Amino acid sequence: MRLEENPQLPLGQDTKYSGDLNFVLSRLFRNIAQKVNQIGDGRIAGNDFTSSTIPTTGMFKQGDFIKNSAPVEAGTAGSKFVVLGWVCTVGGSPGTLLPVRTLTGN
């Protein structure tokens, strides 16, 4: 189920405050709906924990998963793989991050 990305809030009394409140809430609800819809669609844009390389800075907790925003095939013939992201196995700054790979079958 996708969320409505352009919510229409009812306007109350015609005051500057009610107009400003309506504007701010509409923008907030639109941003939330867009983020949730992107995550639901599996889009990388919906994820805040992304990187094109293994992170070397930042604080991570065990179990954190950082999606690879630029996956490419790597390896040699017969053992090619794609790095899907990195998982933190020991928390810290940056902690221990290990690649999560999948074989491509080539």
pLDDT given at position 99: 95
In sequence order, what are the residues at sequence separation of 6 or more whose Cβ sits closer than 8 angstroms to the Cβ of residue 100? 65, 83, 84, 85, 86, 87
Task: Annotate 57-88 with three-state secondary structure.
Answer: CCCECCCCEEEECCCCEECCCCCCEEEEEEEE
**How many degrees, rounded to 5, is the angle at CA 20 between CA 15 and CA 23?**
130
pTM for the whole structure = 0.66
pLDDT given at position 88: 95
pLDDT given at position 106: 61
Q: How far is CA 41 from CA 27, 57, 69, 86, in A?
A: 21, 29, 15, 21
pLDDT given at position 82: 95
pLDDT given at position 12: 67
pLDDT tens sequence for the chain (106 residues): 777 887 777 776 788 888 888 888 888 998 899 889 888 888 877 777 889 999 999 999 999 999 999 999 988 887 899 999 999 999 999 899 999 999 987 6
- The tokens for 38 are 């992107």
> What are the residue ranges spanned by the domains of the chain?
1-46, 49-103
